[in-house]
């Protein structure tokens, strides 16, 4: 059985929550595609006795995003570059406002992937979002949600007078292993 009934708790010790950005613009070669880890967060997955997902919740500290890796670019990212990116995320992008997700519906019409719908609060604005999650035979849970920054009132970062910019769509990726725990 790939997932058991009960409350499944996740956090940085049991799973990985990350953000992946892309770059665009005429000077895209100068920038980096980033993999950013969220280092302070918690999540729960409620699974009913019939193995239907009933609730998904996640809370994240917006100031805990740390650049894990940068690919591309004219030169490798250094520690100062990573610190500057973190400061920009805190001050200009997320503005130190915590992140939360609460599901309103989860369904698995074909018994395979689970479609999760709910509301994401990001940068002080709440918007509906949907994504798919998959559970492996070993209980591994994986999900990717595409977040369009401008839907949440965020202006994607740009430099060099707009010739280098972070793409509007970023991916939020969750990877963990489900182990039910009592409440």
Question: Which pair of tokens denotes residue 181?
Answer: 């725990």
Q: Looking at the DSSP assignment, which residues form a beta bridge with residue 173?
A: 18, 144
Which one, of 153, 129, 132, lies nearest residue 143 by Cα? Answer: 132
Other CB atoms within a 10 A radius of the CB of residue 122 amount to 24
| Per-residue model confidence (pLDDT) at position 49 | 82
The per-residue pLDDT for range 48-90, each reduced to its tens digit, is 887 777 899 999 999 999 999 988 888 888 999 899 999 999 9
**Domains of the chain from N-terminus onward:** 6-181 (2.40.128.110)
Residue 17 has pLDDT above 60, yes or no: yes
The per-residue pLDDT for range 123-134, each reduced to its tens digit, is 999 999 999 998
| Residues 55/101, Cβ–Cβ less than 8 Å | no
Question: Which pair of tokens denotes residue 75?
Answer: 């030169």
């Amino acid at each position: 059985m790939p997932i058991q009934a009960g409350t499944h708790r996740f956090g940085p010790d049991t799973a990985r929550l990350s953000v992946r950005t892309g770059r665009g613009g005429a000077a895209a070669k100068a920038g980096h595609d980033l993999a950013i880890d969220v280092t302070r967060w918690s999540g729960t997955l409620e699974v009913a006795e019939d193995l239907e997902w009933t609730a998904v919740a996640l809370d994240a500290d917006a100031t805990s995003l740390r650049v894990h890796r940068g690919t591309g670019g004219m030169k490798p990212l250094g520690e100062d570059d990573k610190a500057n990116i973190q400061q920009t995320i805190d001050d200009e992008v997320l503005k130190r406002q915590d992140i939360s997700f609460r599901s309103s519906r989860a369904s698995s019409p074909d018994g395979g992937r689970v479609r999760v719908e709910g509301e994401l609060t990001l940068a002080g604005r709440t918007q509906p979002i949907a994504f798919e999650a998959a559970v492996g035979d070993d209980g591994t849970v994986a999900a990717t949600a595409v977040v369009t920054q401008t839907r949440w009132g965020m202006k994607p970062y740009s430099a060099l007078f707009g010739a280098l910019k972070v793409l509007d769509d970023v991916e939020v990726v969750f990877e963990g292993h489900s182990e039910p725990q009592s409440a």
